[in-house]
Structures are given as structure tokens and as C-alpha cells.
Amino acid sequence: MAKQSSIFKKVGFASLIMMASVFASRITGLAREMIIAFTGGTGGDVDAYQISFIIPEILNHIVASGFLSITFIPIFTAYLVRKKEEHSWKIFSIIFNTFGFFLLIFILISFYFAPEIVKIFAPGFKDPVLFQKAVKMTRIIIPAQFFFFAGGLFMAVQFAKEKFLIPAFAPVLYNLGIIAGGIFLNKYLGIQGFAWGVLLGSFFGNFVLQYFGAKKIGMKIYPLFNIKHPEFIKYLLLTLPLMLGLTMTFSIEILFKFFGSFLGKGSIAAMNYAFRIMLILVGLFGQAVGVASYPFMAKFAAENNMNSLNNLLNQTLKLLLLVIPFSVLLMVLSHEIVFILFKRGKFDINAVILTAGVLPFFLAGTFAFAGQTVVTRGWYAVQNTWIPALVSTGTVLLSFPIFYILMKLMDIKGVGLALFITTIVQILFLFELWNRKKNNIKGKTVYIFFMKMLGISLIIGLILLKITDFLRNIFNSSTMSGCWYICIITGILFLLFFIGFGFIFKIQEILILFKKGKYLNGAKKNS
């Protein structure tokens, strides 16, 4: 009991660090998008900039750079639990050297064939000038994938050693690099300045800083390339589904760019702005808690303590479901939020209308997007990467007709609605499989809590809709000051309703905001 109590305290502390990191990352990321919007609005140049990330994202996916912490931590942690740290650095070196070598080859190939690959994944992008800009920026960004790969491993060993502070700075420095490139190079290179900023930010934030962080906790890199090592083969088998499968984050990025290329100019840019706003909520409610809790999930799995693992998963998902009412708040204020964040420079009122129109559809899937960051980590903690990969890939492939039909019926909003449907189906199926296969008897309490939060959110949303309609008759929502007044008044009323429902129904997950530690104490008792 004392050991589990200590674990929950560590999860809570790590979550605070990662939440601060994610908050800072989202703020700097928001500043990045605001500067891009100011520079290019929802114009074709911004579409080209967004398309330039397609090949880098594919490379990132092929070597599973975004999953290095997820697949590597359980293997690394198992050695630490058995007091064999020296062996852990040897397998670390084999993975780093081998995958790094093949990544460099992929980078050279994709650099050369960039035009052909862009044509495949953005077939509707026909403007020759914009197409050449997309290809040029693609080639600028491609080398950054090596820094993401190396940095991912450097951060993984820090997470395994329960060190979160230095990795917390990676996304912030990355965003600051993009901002710096956009501000200082825009005069000379236009939108390409942001592409050079990507390279700069990934080098300093994900590579240099994380190298020093990993060295600080004793990282050793040996000149080893033993691809027959059993642990390397184990890592490869764990990672292979992630390389071949279509994960939610990767799929959404590709899908809205693929289908957006067939829509009007600026559609990809508008969906990207809406997606980034949604990711602010996902980051604060999902990513921070998911990243912080994963090493402890891996530890429970290594100890074969499924009861504690299930308990941690359920409690974390309930906490994440608090994102639903906040998503509803942003849906109600979509126009005002987009206006305040982006209405300046080349981002005109038409861009506001286009982005605000699709934003609610992205926000509707926020809870599912946040929840999948935790549910998939549960599977990864027990070293099962095939089930999440198969479920995700199957969902994405089956969604193509849905995307096409809804795009034809509803244009850009149809793409947003299809994304919402895809994310919901995937998370529900994945969590239900977990409950059945891992005997998660208390998993039904998550569904009950979901229905409770959904009901509360709908009530709050309907009330806020009436209030905002009234406020828009008083304050001019086509002015910056009017939007601020509407947001502030609506936001205050939302918090009062939110807190009120928490006290009336005694919802611990809400009361935690006002009674620190109560939630974790409850989690300890339940375990």
C-alpha cells in the first residue's frame, strides 16, 4: 500500500511538470500559429507550408520516432528493475545506431523524391508555384526527423529514470525555433522562414538539450550494431506495428491535408488552425497526464500488477473526461476564440468564418483524442502494440468512404465531422477491448462518468448558447473588444456552472481543482 501511495505521488508530481511543459508548449505553439496566421492567413502559402510536413511526418512514422518512449521504456525499465543498467545502455546503443543509420538513408531518398511523394499525398494541390514551395519547404524540414528520432530516445531514458524536467523543455524550444525563423527570416524568405525555424527548433530543443539531459543521468552510447540481439528483435517486433499501422495523430494530420487538397484554397490552413486549438485542450488534459503516467504503467506491467494498472488507467481516464465541458465552452465561443487568436494581418474576417465553422467539429472529438493517449499507453505498457495498430489502421481505412461522402455533402465541415466520427469509434473500440482482455471490471465506471460529464456539458452548453446570443446583441462580436467581453463573461459563468455541478453531484474529479490531493488520496484508497 505504501509503495502504491508513493507511485501515485510520483505520478502527480510528474503530471504537474508535464502539464506545465504542455501548457508552455501550447502557448508557444499558439503564438507560432498566430504569427503564421498574421503572415499568411488562410492563403495558399500556408497550405503549402502545411503540406511540406507530410513527408517528414511519414519519415517520423516509419522509424516510430514519436513512439520511442512508448516502446523503448518497457524494455529499458525491465533492465533497471533487474538491476542490469549496463545491459540497458547496450540495447539503447544498438537501437540508436541501427535505426539512426536507416533513418539517414530514408532522409536522403525522400529528399530526392520529394516532388513525387507530395503529388501522391496531396493530389488535389495543383497550383505549380505553390507546389514548388511545398517541395522546397519539405526538403528543408526533412533533416529535422533525425533530431526528433535521437531526441526521442534521449528523452525515453530520462523518463525511464523518472526524470521529466529537461524533456519538458523540448516542445517549447521547438516552437520558439519556428517563431524565430518566421520573425527573423520572413522578410527575406517569406513562409520558408518557418520551415528553417522547424530545423532550428528540432536541433536545439530535441537534440542538443536532450543529449545533455540523457548524459546527466548516465547515458552511454557504444558502437554496437548487433541486429540479432534478442532485445533488439523484441524492440523491432514491438515497434513494427507502429511503423505499419496508421495511428490517430498521424492519420488526422494526413487525412485533413489529403482531403483538404481537393477543397478551396485555404481549407488546409483553416483545418490546421482548428486542429491546433483543439490540441491545446488535448495537451492540457491528455498528453501531460498520459506521458507522466506511462512510466508507472510500465512499472506496474513489469511487476505483473494488473489491478494497480487498471486502477491507474481508469482514474486517469475519468480525469481526462473533464475536457468535455471545456470543449463545449470553446464550441460556443468558436467565433470569438478564432477572432481573438488570429484576426490580424492577412487573417481576415473570411478566414475567421472559415476556421470558426470547422472548429466545433474538431472540438467534439477532443475527449476521444485525449483518451487515446492513455488507453494506447496501457496497451504499450503490457508490450502489446499490435492491437492499437490494427484497431487504428482498420478504423482509418474504413473511414475513407465516410470522409469522401461527408466532404461532398458538407465541404470542409464534412472533413471535420468525419474526423470526429473516426476518433470516437477508435477510442471506444480500443478501451472496450482492454476491458475484456485485461479483466478491467471497473472499466464500466469510466462509461458512467462519461455519460455524467456528457449530460452536464450539454446542459451547460445550451445555457451558454442562450447567454452568448444575448451578449452578442450587446457587444459587437466583429470587434476585438466585443469578442473579449463575450469570452470573459461567458467564461466566468461557465466556471460557476462547472464548479456548481461539481459540488452538487460531489464529483471528485472536479473538486480536485479546489481540494488539492483529494483525488489522488481517493485513488490510493481504491487501490
pLDDT at residue 526, rounded to an integer? 42
Burial class of residue 356, CB neighbours in 10 A (0-12, 13-18, 19+): buried
Return the higher-pLDDT residue of 67 and 433.
Answer: 433
Cell numbers that stand for 229 in this block = 540481439
Q: How many residues does this entry show for the chain?
A: 527
| Alpha carbon distance 4, 525 (integer Å) | 10
pLDDT at residue 503, rounded to an integer? 84
- Using the predicted structure, report yes or no on whether residue 481 has a pLDDT greater than 90: yes
- Using the predicted structure, report yes or no on whether residue 312 has a pLDDT greater than 80: yes
- Using the predicted structure, report yes or no on whether residue 451 has a pLDDT greater than 90: yes
Which letter does DSSP use for residue 190 in this model?
T
Res. 27 pLDDT band, cuts 50 70 90: confident
pLDDT at residue 80, rounded to an integer? 76
- Using the predicted structure, report yes or no on whether residue 76 has a pLDDT greater than 70: yes
Tell the residue number behind the cell numbers 442562450, with chain if given. 466
User: Residues 231-267: pLDDT tens digits?
Assistant: 888 888 877 776 766 566 667 778 888 888 888 888 8
Task: Please tell me the least confidently modeled range out of 42-51, 218-227, 252-261.
Answer: 252-261
| Alpha carbon distance 143, 317 (integer Å) | 36
- Using the predicted structure, report yes or no on whether residue 524 has a pLDDT greater than 60: no
| Alpha carbon distance 454, 426 (integer Å) | 18
pLDDT at residue 523, rounded to an integer? 40
| Alpha carbon distance 274, 30 (integer Å) | 11
pLDDT at residue 192, rounded to an integer? 92
| Alpha carbon distance 483, 108 (integer Å) | 48
For 440, half-sphere exposure in the C-beta direction (CA atoms, 13 angstrom radius) is 25
Mean pLDDT of all residues belonging to the chain: 84
List C-alpha distances in Å: 51 to 25, 110, 253, 389.
Answer: 22, 14, 10, 24
Q: Terminus-to-terminus CA distance in the chain, angstroms?
A: 8
pLDDT at residue 159, rounded to an integer? 82
Neighbours of 23 (CB within 10 A): 15
Return the higher-pLDDT residue of 507 and 391.
Answer: 391
Average pLDDT over residues 444-460: 92
Which letter does DSSP use for residue 493 in this model?
H
Q: For residue 146, what is the enclosing H or E element? A: helix 144-160
Cell numbers that stand for 247 in this block = 495511428
Task: Please tell me the least confidently modeled range out of 263-277, 338-352, 378-392.
Answer: 378-392
pLDDT at residue 265, rounded to an integer? 82
Of 513, 486, 489, nearest to 501 (Cα)? Answer: 513
- Using the predicted structure, report yes or no on whether residue 8 has a pLDDT greater than 60: no
Res. 287 pLDDT band, cuts 50 70 90: low
List C-alpha distances in Å: 487 to 24, 330, 355.
Answer: 22, 9, 17
| Alpha carbon distance 387, 60 (integer Å) | 21
User: Residues 32-42: pLDDT tens digits?
Assistant: 989 999 888 88
pLDDT at residue 374, rounded to an integer? 84
| Alpha carbon distance 122, 133 (integer Å) | 13
Return the higher-pLDDT residue of 291 and 482.
Answer: 482
Return the higher-pLDDT residue of 360 and 42.
Answer: 360
- Using the predicted structure, report yes or no on whether residue 9 has a pLDDT greater than 60: no
Cell numbers that stand for 523 in this block = 485513488
List C-alpha distances in Å: 368 to 188, 231, 282, 363, 429.
Answer: 42, 33, 9, 10, 11
DSSP secondary structure letters along 218-230: T--------TT-H
Return the higher-pLDDT residue of 384 and 333.
Answer: 333
- Using the predicted structure, report yes or no on whether residue 181 has a pLDDT greater than 70: yes
User: Residues 509-523: pLDDT tens digits?
Assistant: 676 655 544 443 444
Calculate what percentage of the chain has a pLDDT beyond 70. 88
Sign of CA dihedral 282, 372, 366, 400: positive
Report the C-alpha dihedral over residues 444, 446, 452, 453, rounded to 10 degrees. -160
Cβ atoms 28, 176 nearer than 8 A: yes
| Alpha carbon distance 517, 527 (integer Å) | 15
Average pLDDT over residues 130-149: 93
